[in-house]
Amino acid sequence: MSRRKQTGPASHGKRTDVGYGRPPREHQFKPGQSGNKGGRPKGSKNEATIINELLNRKISIRYNGRVRRISALEGILTRFVDDALKGKDKSAAFLLNRKQQAESSEPPAAPQLDIDDRKVLDAYAQQLREQFKKQGDSE
């Protein structure tokens, strides 16, 4: 965006930087002043926080004749399991998809090293220790 010289009687040959996103100096916010005076109140929660709190709250359910306190999320998933076992395909598909997503998001297990690889790494670690020890002694 190019800056233009303002022409006319009010300009007196001065260059102004007024335009979209650049209000005149007298209308700019002063240091320490905000354009949103009320702002977001402290302690207000966003949607994700509210959902997490609702799903983590404890509820009482009767299961096999006993009262259990479980999270709302666990209760919902239990209901899906019960529906899936009754033959509801949508519940079964939902649960299997969630299971697959949960397993794919887990970090892969560290591969197990065989004895030869472990020996090579131990030897390399020993060389590094000796090298750092020599550098520490020379300083």
pLDDT tens by residue, 84-110: 999 999 999 999 999 999 888 877 677
Contact 56, 73 (CB under 8 A): yes
Contact 69, 60 (CB under 8 A): yes
Measured distance CA(73)–CA(55) in Å, rounded: 5
Contact 48, 62 (CB under 8 A): no
Where residue 21 falls (left for φ over 0; alpha for ψ -120 to 50; beta otherwise) is left
Which amino acid makes up residue 16? T
Q: Return per-residue pLDDT of the chain as tens, 139 residues.
A: 555 555 555 555 565 688 888 889 888 888 877 777 777 788 889 999 999 999 999 999 998 899 999 999 999 999 999 999 999 999 999 999 999 998 888 776 777 778 888 888 889 899 988 888 887 776 6
Q: pTM for this one?
A: 0.48
Structure-token pair, residue 2: 């190019």
